[in-house]
């Protein structure tokens, strides 16, 4: 019975790895690019991540980075929702990855400032990560 459990666990992880490494089709790439126009909330960014993360490259990735920046600069008060969604490690890494060199230096400074001065007490860990990532760019 122990072997069966180990085998079942291996199969679950194998399926998860295969699902995450699925290539982005041309149609998905177009859809992902079009969908970047609607990323004005953390829920929408999360939906994009769930549906199109395999297409997170090139133009769509740059537009996702811009959307992440806009949410962190213009809608900082929504950080608690990001905190809820970022409990999912993959999504948290996705957000941090998008604080990248394509972003405006002023936006990165604002994100760092928000993270250091306007962070809710229960989101200190997330804020530290945001601040460190923004300052590293």
Residue 20 lies in a domain: no
What residues contact 45, with CB distance under 8 A and at least 6 apart?
A: 39, 64, 67, 68, 71, 95
Residue 9 lies in a domain: no
Q: Within 10 A of 108 (CB to CB), how many other CB atoms are there?
A: 21
Residue 89 lies in a domain: yes
Q: Within 10 A of 116 (CB to CB), how many other CB atoms are there?
A: 14
Would you state the structure tokens that stand for residue 37, as one six-digit string? 């126009």
pLDDT of res. 126: 98
Residue 51 lies in a domain: yes
* Spatial distance between the Cα atoms of 74 and 109, rounded to a whole number of angstroms: 13
pLDDT of res. 137: 81
Structural domain boundaries, residue 96: 29-136
- DSSP class per residue in 35-93: HGGG--SHHHHHHHHHHHGGG-SHHHHHHHHHHHHHHHHH-GGGHHHHHHHTTSHHHHH
Residue 60 lies in a domain: yes
Would you state the structure tokens that stand for residue 98, as one six-digit string? 């998008």
Residue 130 lies in a domain: yes
Residue 5 lies in a domain: no
Would you state the structure tokens that stand for residue 13, as one six-digit string? 């992880």
pLDDT in tens, 5-57: 444 444 444 444 444 578 999 999 999 999 999 999 999 999 999 999 999 99
Would you state the structure tokens that stand for residue 131, as one six-digit string? 């601040």
pTM of the predicted model, to two decimals?
Answer: 0.83
pLDDT in tens, 79-121: 999 999 999 999 999 999 999 999 999 999 999 999 999 999 9
Number of domains the chain contains: 1
pLDDT in tens, 102-113: 999 999 999 999
Residue 69 lies in a domain: yes
């Amino acid at each position: 019975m122990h072997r069966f459990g180990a085998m079942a666990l291996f199969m679950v992880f194998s399926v998860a790895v295969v699902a995450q490494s699925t290539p982005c089709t041309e149609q998905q790439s177009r859809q992902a690019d079009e969908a970047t126009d609607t990323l004005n909330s953390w829920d929408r960014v999360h939906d994009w991540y769930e549906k199109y993360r395999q297409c997170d490259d090139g133009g769509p990735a740059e537009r996702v980075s811009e959307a992440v920046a806009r949410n962190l600069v213009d809608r900082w008060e929504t950080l608690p929702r990001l905190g809820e969604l970022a409990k999912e490690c993959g999504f948290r890494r996705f957000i941090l990855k998008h604080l990248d060199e394509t972003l405006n230096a002023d936006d990165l400074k604002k994100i760092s400032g928000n993270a250091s001065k306007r962070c809710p007490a229960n989101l200190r860990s997330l804020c530290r990560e945001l601040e460190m990532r923004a300052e590293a760019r």
